[in-house]
Chain A
Amino acid sequence: MNSKRIRNIAAAVIAALALLGAMALPAAADEQGDAPVLSIGWAQDPQTLNPFIGLDEEDYTIWAINWDLLVNFDPEDLSPAPGIAESWKVSDDKKTVTFKIADRKWSDGVPVTSADVKWSLETLGSEGELFTSYTNNVTSITTPDKKTVVIKTSKPDARIVGGLLIYILPKHIWGKVPLSELTTTYQPSLPLVGTGPFIVTEFDRGRLIKMDQNPEFDGKKPKFGQLQFIKYGNQDAVERALQLGEIDLVPEVQASTFKRLGEQDNIKTVDSPSPAFTELAFNLCPEKLCPDAQVNPAIRDLPVRQAIAYSIDRERINQIAASDTSFVANGLLPSYYKSFYEDPENTYPFDPEKAKQILDDAGYLPGDDGIREKDGDRLSFNLYTRTRSESAYNAQAAKLVAEMARDVGIEFKVQEVSVDKLTELTVRQVDGKPAPDFDAFIWGWGGDAYDPSFLLSLMTTGEIGGSSDSFYSNAEYDKLFNEQSGEFDVEKRKEIIHRMINRLQQDLPYIVLTEDPNLQAYRTDRIANVEPTCPSGDGDIFCEQAGYAPLLDLAPGSSSGDEGSSGNGVLIAIIAALVIAVLAFVLIRHRRRRDEPLEVEEETLEVEEQPDGTDGEEK
């Protein structure tokens, strides 16, 4: 299963919330009478509201508003805060946690009980595409009474409090649906019963999602009456809609337009730190694990990967492909995790001469076409990336990597493929064994906001066949990984993680290119009084994973309905004129080809063009 998509998504999804929270968001007080509406635009919308099968980051945006977690996050510092559970107690051996369930009601009036929690953690935690990794240390979940849940784990696991990202669903609705249906076709009926401040009341896939206030929500009352998530055809259209004032907020802005958007009147852009990065990954699956892998074995040769690392100018990639919105990454652990981050021993600064030297020393010498080879092994690799419409940054970064590696005699053949296709290539199996079909790819990961374990787990042997997409396997790394996950002392854990990252920088399953902040934008005339709430103080943690709490502080802005100006009008007109000119030609030509019927047809046309009185009707 590909949690990459999911993860990235999770980070991004949550980004929407962050924005919401980060600025006291008001809404445009139009259309809906006295209830102000907050309009949010995006180019990708959820495929489904069912968390068992949802895979996209956009899904999380909706889920996180509609439902609570057992333990929510405090928007101030992302520490554990009451959610479905109002309090909890951790036993002395840290292997048993007892939760007390708060007195809350589902939006349909039914009380929330421990049975809902048990059902959700067990069922969603074992069957939901994106939720299976959180409960792997859980040995039992028991419910002594309606208001108490006891979770036991095989070893101390800090995630049980403050990291159990599994939504609590109403068992009295979801529990009645057969599991086989839940994990395939089930679409919940609306309104989507939940405990959050807003619940989905309208889901028109590909167009619009409306969320209205939850009548049973007993927390702070939201200051606007409705959320609208509006789907546009592409990212450009979303950003144009923001400029035109059709929407108030864009949760995910393209790197290439981020700076320009911030220069517009009434628009403010926000880039918030995020544990997300873009990496160049290699297929290192060992022969015995992946006998049927389709790969140029030269990529498994360490000097080749080292040479590639030295040949890549990561700052140039940031400058050109990410329009200087990202920054150079050094190793798998994003500097976002301040309490654990330390520069690794080897950061592979851009040094093409050194790259050539390494290849010369390893016996790879340039052939007639400049591509190096040794004993007939050509350093020519395929390099997959998402399509431009899915990630303009990745597609462009791939092009740049190929260009730079070419200079030291390594060929990358860039192939843009859809996310689905890329997933297929990485999770491919033959006879039940992994058989990845790629040499290298460029993609990204987003980590959990509070803990680096997820990102570190990507390189463990245990994740081969799971989340691992480099198929890296190293006994020492695995040992260190287990050590750090049970280590509660931050300084000691940091030391262990540092050794893990050094190991990875030595072996280079990934060359992590850049760390990528969340890029968002909102209208200042619709959303006043903006004050980032999550990073109070240091601001070392972004607030996206904070759930809906920041949303409750948002208030409608001062002005609404102010039509922004469009500077593109002229350009669009010119392009339209060109298109029309070409079309006209084709049409004229068609006409010419007809002989006699020309006049007759024109007469008919005139008749058809008579106004029939329907044009004036309002749609």
Chain B
Amino acid sequence: MSGREAVRVLFSSWRGRFGIAVLVVTVFVAIFGSALAPYDPTASSLDVLQPPSFDHLLGTTESGEDVFSQLLVGTRTSVVVGFAAAVISAVLGSAVGIFSGYFGGWTDRILDSLENWFLVIPTLPLMIVLARLLDPSLGVLVAVIGLTSWAGTGRIVRAQVMTLRERAFVERARALGAGDTYIIRTHVLPNTLPLIFANTVLIIAVAILSEAALSFLGLGDPSRISWGSMLENAFGSGAPSAGAWWYVIPPGLCITILVLAVTLIGFLYEEYINPRLAMDRES
């Protein structure tokens, strides 16, 4: 799948166009959110838990902070964690998958057990334990999510690599004296990249949700605003009981829409790689 092909796939359906539109807006806000925010998102005021008004587009928090500003500034955390954790997960997953699938034997057995282990471990509790053990910070959050979500990628890549290894062109390269590194670099990796890419896009969604979940549980970076920590603050301050919907709905909706967008793009690529999925859907 070439770059141009990837773009064509993306714009070929409404799902892709919707997804990319949301992504572009989100990334823009993530970069310029602090500058766009009408207020300092952590500045308290005596307008406590006020409903939306012209002064405060999305109302205020329990400390009189501006919800709209928090939403804008919080975007960055969600995006950074989502993408960074997905990259870690992709690198780890594909490395393990490629080594395991390509070399087979004991390498495979050990790596595969590790992978199985991570697959069956309930991810959220593991993340909670890890995040609790380490001091909460953005880096820790990224690492924890990345380290717990690579196994699926690893499994898929491994299967693909195992079939690739037996293909004629790989055999041919080997017969011509190519080393393992060369084969992995020029044949295996390029042929698994689309798969890794599609999978990684989906992991972004998981990572964003995980960040929100961990922050909601109070395990996020306390010095940073994120959508998850906004929800945590809202619930911690009893905003739902107070009927302060403007404090709960916006971050929840943002998470949902971003995850939806990323997931749609992920599906699109998955279907492109494996057309049978599309047929299932249409039938």
Contact = CB atoms under 8 A, between A and B. Distances in A.
Contacts of A388: 218, 233, 236-237
Contacts of A403: 42-44
A575 B218 contact: no
Contacts of B206: 586
B238 interface: yes
Nearest to B206: A586
Given A236-B238, A575-B252, A589-B202, A400 B63 contact: yes
A256 B61 CA distance: 12
Contact of B259 (A236, A240, A574, A582): A582
Given A400-B63, A575-B252, A592-B267, A260 B242 contact: yes
Given A403-B42, A574-B249, A582-B209, A592 B270 contact: yes
Interface string A218-243: 00000000000000000110011000
Contacts of A236: 235, 238, 240-241
A589 B238 contact: no
B62 A256 contact: yes
B174 interface: no
Nearest to A261: B241
Given A320-B64, A582-B209, A392 B236 contact: yes
Interface in A299-348: 316, 319-321, 323
Contact of B237 (A392, A586, A593, A598): A392
Interface in B229-257: 233, 235-238, 240-243, 245, 248-249, 252-253, 255-256
Contacts of B110: none
A403 B65 CA distance: 12
A567 interface: yes
Given A239-B241, A403-B42, A578-B252, A598 B280 contact: yes
Interface string A547-590: 00000000000000000000110011011001001100110010
Contacts of B256: 578, 581-582
A238 to B, nearest CB: 11
A568 B241 CA distance: 6
A257 B44 contact: no
Nearest to B62: A256
Contact of A320 (B63, B233, B266, B281): B63
Contact of B253 (A260, A416, A571, A578): A578
Given A582-B209, A592-B277, A595-B276, A387 B63 contact: no
A389 interface: yes
Contacts of A137: none
A572 B249 CA distance: 11
Nearest to A595: B276
Contacts of B43: 403
A572 B218 contact: no
Nearest to A235: B238
A232 to B, nearest CB: 13
28 contacts: A236-B235, A236-B238, A236-B240, A239-B238, A239-B241, A254-B238, A256-B62, A320-B44, A320-B64, A388-B236, A388-B237, A399-B42, A403-B43, A414-B222, A415-B222, A416-B222, A572-B240, A575-B240, A578-B249, A582-B209, A586-B206, A589-B205, A589-B267, A592-B267, A592-B277, A595-B274, A595-B276, A598-B280
List of 4 A-B pairs having minimum Cβ-Cβ separation, nearest first: A388-B236, A578-B252, A236-B238, A257-B238
